[in-house]
């Protein structure tokens, strides 16, 4: 995993120099970590990085859904369903 170079800034830095802070993030494509009371609070990232993160999140969500579907397919393949399920589904579902 590659290490990102980040800049630590304070809320006061943003209030006083927001234009410079945002321009620097856009220009360098390096995130800034907002520090308050010696603790990281949030990160400010470029819009390009946000789009990449959203695409990665979507791709990971899709992969997780496909993995779940494949697992469910494997479980269902092992199940023995009644041969008359198509005609008597209410009986099996509702116990009628």
**Average pLDDT per block of 10 residues along the chain, 96 residues long:** 74 95 93 95 94 93 90 82 83 76
| pTM score of the predicted model | 0.60
pLDDT of residue 4: 64
14: Cβ contacts below 8 Å, ≥ 6 apart: 21, 34
pLDDT for 2: 46
Q: In what order do the strands lie in the sheet with 32-36?
A: 7-9, 32-36, 39-44
Q: What is the pLDDT of residue 1?
A: 40
CA distance to 36, 50, 76, 85, 88, per residue, from 95 (Å):
61, 51, 21, 12, 10
């Amino acid at each position: 995993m590659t290490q990102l170079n980040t800049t630590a800034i304070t809320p006061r830095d943003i209030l006083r120099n927001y234009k410079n802070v945002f321009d620097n993030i856009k220009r360098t494509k390096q995130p800034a970590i907002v520090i308050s009371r010696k603790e990281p609070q949030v990160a400010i990232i470029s819009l390009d990085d946000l789009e990449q993160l959203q695409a990665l999140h979507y791709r990971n969500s899709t992969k997780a859904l496909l993995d779940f579907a494949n697992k469910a397919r494997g479980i269902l393949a092992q199940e023995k369903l009644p041969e008359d399920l198509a005609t008597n589904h209410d009986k099996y579902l509702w116990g009628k």
